[in-house]
Amino acid sequence: LTDKISRERRSENMRRIRAKDTLPEMVVRRLVWGLGYRYRLHRKGLPGRPDLVMAGRRKVIWVHGCFWHCHEDCKEAHIPKSRREYWAPKLEGNKRRDKKNLARLRELGWSVLVIWECETLDGERLEKRLSRFLR
């Protein structure tokens, strides 16, 4: 029974993390829209299908969850102590993939802005950054 409970709690935690992961994206989309820029979401045919794509300006924005994408020196990013053998390679793999996608996008001539989940908490600062990147 204990095992069942902890399994359920674990998957509940995961769901919460996943759901939370989309909130920063919504924050960024709303700000970009409010600044007057139009974008497409997760466009196919680009490395890693970036979150926001402004093809005319050749700019993309990634919104990364701190946990899933291993934000360095961030308290939201850590490898869970339980099932470390599962998490470590998985999270490392995400990080490697991000790096590769970023490099490929830049090679193709795209400007890339990465926004971390924890950076979406300060709306004013975020808006300034987005505005600087987009203009």
Kindly state the smallest distance separating residue 73's Cβ from Zn ion, in Å. 8
Cα gap 9→31, rounded to integer Å: 34
Instruction: Give the residues lining the site for Zn ion (CB under 5 A).
Output: 66, 71, 74, 76, 116, 118
Cα gap 64→51, rounded to integer Å: 9
Based on CB atoms, which residue is closest to Zn ion, 31 or 54?
A: 31
Kindly state the smallest distance separating residue 4's Cβ from Zn ion, in Å. 33
Q: Where do the DSSP E strands lie in the chain? A: 40-41, 52-54, 59-64, 111-116
- How many Cα neighbours within 13 Å face the side chain of 64? 25
Which amino acid type is present at position 78? H
| Cβ atoms of residues 119 and 23 within 8 Å | no
Based on CB atoms, which residue is closest to Zn ion, 68 or 116?
A: 116
Kindly state the smallest distance separating residue 118's Cβ from Zn ion, in Å. 3
Based on CB atoms, which residue is closest to Zn ion, 54 or 66?
A: 66
Kindly state the smallest distance separating residue 42's Cβ from Zn ion, in Å. 21
Based on CB atoms, which residue is closest to Zn ion, 24 or 50?
A: 24
